[in-house]
């Protein structure tokens, strides 16, 4: 019974995204990428395979993250603003069911847009006759897990902040995750021993979204696949951190007067 509720909520988010033409923008973008790749391929790309792969990874990573942040941070605020939340809660539906269903919807929309872009960039790589490696498949799986984490973060931020603030903070925590982590490591090394624990704590609490990105391994050839134990560890981290974010969102929404 719960599965039907979650699926109905997630499907509604996907249909709303299609109505708003969000996914149509992604489809057009994919077509542009494919057309540009075809034009480049017409002039030949001998020796530029690494550049093509790097461009594909950059396009996939950037635009899929934008989809995840924008979609997840606007779902609940729009429901509250448009007063469409009240008919939902009038049904046998708890607030946590609502959060989980909206989260699954955000993940569904984000994964759909990501796979659409992945299909067009994959066709571009076929045009360039770039060989397929198993690390490419692992990159897709890892990126999808990372995007699911981004959606959980965005949804939690949207409950505590205004939509513009949540979107901005979402980009800071996801796009800048790697830079923030490196800064904390440098700060830890330079800090006195008495306060080093603070840098460790902050780095532990902040989302490590960059761990799911195998783009640097994918770009260059002959990299060995990521060990399965590492993929499993990332999955455990995703479930734990995303679950914590949804719990934090529920804690706020449960006490909020609607």
Interval 154-187: pLDDT, tens: 999 998 888 889 999 998 888 877 787 788 888 8
Residue 219: the pLDDT is 73
Task: Output the DSSP codes for 190-250.
Answer: HS-GGGHHHHHHHHHHS--GGGG--HHHHHSTTPPPPPHHHHHHHHHHHHHHHHHHHHHHH
Any idea of the CA torsion for 100, 103, 104, 105, to the nearest 10 degrees? 120
Residue 108 pLDDT > 70? yes
Q: Which DSSP symbol is given to 161?
A: S
Task: Give the tens place of pLDDT for each residue, 3-43.
Answer: 777 787 788 888 877 777 766 777 676 666 666 655 555 55
- What is the sign, positive or negative, of the torsion defined by CA atoms of 246, 117, 22, 87? negative
pLDDT confidence bin for 146, thresholds 50/70/90: very high
**Minimum mean pLDDT among 18-27, 43-52, 218-227: which range?**
43-52
pTM value is 0.87
Structure tokens belonging to residue 244: 């914590």
Q: What is the rounded end-to-end Cα distance, in angstroms, of the chain?
A: 26
């Amino acid at each position: 019974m719960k599965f039907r509720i979650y699926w109905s909520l997630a499907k509604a988010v996907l249909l709303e995204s299609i109505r708003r033409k969000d996914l149509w923008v992604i489809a057009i973008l994919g077509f542009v990428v494919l057309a540009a790749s075809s034009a480049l391929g017409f002039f030949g790309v001998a020796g530029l395979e690494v550049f093509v792969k790097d461009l594909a990874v950059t396009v996939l990573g950037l635009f899929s993250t934008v989809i995840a942040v924008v979609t997840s941070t606007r779902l609940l605020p729009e429901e509250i603003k448009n007063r469409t939340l009240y008919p939902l809660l009038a049904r046998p539906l708890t607030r946590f069911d609502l959060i989980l269903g909206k989260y699954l919807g955000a993940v569904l929309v984000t994964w759909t847009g990501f796979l659409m872009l992945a299909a067009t960039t994959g066709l571009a790589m076929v045009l360039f006759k770039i060989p397929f490696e198993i690390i490419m498949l692992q990159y897709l799986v890892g990126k999808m897990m990372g995007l699911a984490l981004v959606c959980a973060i965005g949804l939690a931020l949207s409950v505590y902040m205004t939509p513009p603030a949540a979107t901005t903070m979402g980009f800071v925590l996801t796009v800048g995750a790697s830079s923030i982590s490196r800064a904390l490591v440098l700060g830890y090394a330079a800090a006195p021993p008495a306060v080093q624990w603070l840098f460790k704590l902050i780095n532990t609490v902040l989302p490590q979204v960059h761990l799911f990105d195998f783009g640097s391994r994918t770009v260059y050839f002959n990299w060995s696949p990521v060990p399965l134990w590492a993929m499993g560890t990332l999955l455990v981290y995703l479930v734990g951190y995303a679950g914590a974010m949804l719990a934090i969102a529920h804690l706020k929404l449960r006490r909020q007067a609607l």
